[in-house]
Amino acid sequence: QIDEAEVVAFSVPSYACLRRTTLDNHNPVLTDALSLLAENAELSDEDGRGVAFRRAAAVLKALPEPVTGVTQLRGLPCLGGHSLRVIRDILENGASSEVEFTKQSERFKALKVLTDIFGVGAKTAERWIRDGIHSLHQLQESGQTLNRAQQAGLEHYDDLKQPVTKAEADAIGEIVEEAVVSVLPGAQITLIGGFRRGKLTGHDVDFLITHPEEGREVGLMPKVVSWLESQGFLLYQKTTRNSYLEAKDGPARPASNMDRFERCFSIFKLVTDEGPKPASGHRRWRAVRVDLVVSPISQFAFALLGWTGSKLFERELRRWAGHEKAMSLSSHALYDNKQGRYLKATSEEEIFTYLGLEYIPPSERNA
Ligand code: DGT
Ligand code: MG
């Protein structure tokens, strides 16, 4: 017999940036289900619903043990009626009919396959589906014009679907480091994104590049890219000037520094085997998505915090800053609306302090 007092009730703060979320997820079946519904909503231009499911999944990721009954969830934040229905379905019937239905639906499958192509977003996939294109084969037969990114994405589709390992990320890191210090001695690179949070695999590898002397990083990206290209490491690349535009970003994006923040989306050619020449039909390299970001040292802490993720953790940090502290946080700066000024920081810890938050290390930002 279960004593009422023995029923574990969990308590979790509602902002993900107030929680410590490790990779040790005790409820993967539930969080996978909610993440799938989030993904379906995002692919269907229903961002509000997407965020709601992401928040619900993140709350379950923060629980110290598996959920066995919905009564344990009483009082937990971010669990709306819809998410609770899905959770109850899984706990009581072993599966959620909505999740199973979504997974099987032609529309979701087509959206997944098409947006898994590098360079293809939900809008493009949607248009193609309306034209009757549901598969890679149909896309190739359709005569649709593809841009350069999409052509590269299609060409390397199978490789880019394979998770990138930490070992591969480190191997790429060494090459990028060599490129960076060759073109600008003293420049530094940092592994960011999921790998910085301790993930063992990722969909891409993200690096942040800076130089300890303000201004020396200007013009660095094209030089790094040329170096990598000349050595045959890039299968595709597109460099953009600071294209990350958040509508609400406002004053947190200092106009004077905008042109200093550069990003390169690339497909990297990683040699996987240095051994003897492989049998014909086999190759000794694989394609890997690599993102490079250059930041001036004055913005480095903000860039580091902003690019380490997880995406939900970032979103929650910005929400906390805006709603609870009247500040606007971006990957460039922190602006205090009450004081009417930017707050300088040289470390992530300082930014958490400004925000009145306990410091959460990267390995605990896996919301
Ligand atoms: P992954 O690569 O799927 O294993 O997981 P993550 O967490 O590395 O995700 P990814 O690579 O999409 O993005 C890395 C982090 O960088 C992400 O957690 C949030 C942030 N991020 C992504 N895209 C942008 C962007 O356009 N601008 C800024 N400021 N941050 C971004
Ligand atoms: Mg990543």
Average pLDDT, the chain: 93
Query: Do 120 and 224 lie in a common domain?
Result: no
Nearest ligand, CA 200 = 1
Percent of the chain topping pLDDT 90: 87
3-state SS string for 109-124: HHHHHHHCCCCCCHHH
Domain end, chosen from 61, 82, 102, is at 102
**pLDDT for 281:** 76
Domain span at residue 330?
305-364
Q: Where are the beta strands (DSSP E) in 110-187?
A: 164-165
CATH code for the domain of 17:
1.10.150.110
Tally of domains within the chain: 4
Query: Do 223 and 278 lie in a common domain?
Result: yes
pLDDT band at 260 (very low <50, low <70, confident <90, very high): very low
pTM over 0.90: yes
Query: Do 53 and 178 lie in a common domain?
Result: no
Q: Confirm if 327 and 337 have CB atoms less than 8 A apart.
A: yes
Query: Do 168 and 292 lie in a common domain?
Result: yes
Nearest ligand, CA 261 = 1
Is the pLDDT confidence value at 257 over 70? no
Q: List, for residues 233-246, the tens digit of each pLDDT value.
A: 999 999 987 644 43
3-state SS string for 323-352: HHHCEEECCCCEEECCCCEECCCCCHHHHH
How many other C-beta atoms can be found within 10 angstroms of the C-beta atom of residue 56? Answer: 27
Q: State yes or no: cis peptide before 310, omega within 30 of 0.
A: yes
> Does 307 contact ligand 1 (Cβ within 6 A)?
yes
Is the pLDDT confidence value at 3 over 90? no
Domain end, chosen from 155, 174, 190, is at 155
Query: Do 226 and 263 lie in a common domain?
Result: yes
ipTM above 0.90, yes or no: yes
Chain centroid, CA 333 distance in Å: 20
Query: Do 169 and 293 lie in a common domain?
Result: yes
**81 CA to centre of ligand 2 in angstroms:** 32
Nearest CA to ligand 1 atom 23: 307
Query: Do 95 and 124 lie in a common domain?
Result: no
Query: Do 116 and 62 lie in a common domain?
Result: no
Q: What angle do CA 42, 261, 231 make, to 5 degrees?
A: 95
CATH code for the domain of 200:
3.30.460.10
Q: What angle do CA 307, 308, 310 make, to 5 degrees?
A: 105
> Does 309 contact ligand 1 (Cβ within 6 A)?
yes
Chain centroid, CA 97 distance in Å: 28
Report the residue among 191, 240, 307, 313 best suited for mutation to probe ligand 1: largest number of ligand atoms under 8 A from its CB: 307
Facing residues of 240 across strands? 263
Residues designated as active site: 204, 206, 291
Query: Do 136 and 56 lie in a common domain?
Result: no
Question: Hey, is 286 helix, strand or coil?
Answer: strand
CATH code for the domain of 355:
3.30.210.10
**pLDDT for 8:** 60
**pLDDT for 50:** 98
The reply to whether 89 sits in an annotated binding site is no
Report the residue among 293, 311, 351 best suited for mutation to probe ligand 1: largest number of ligand atoms under 8 A from its CB: 311
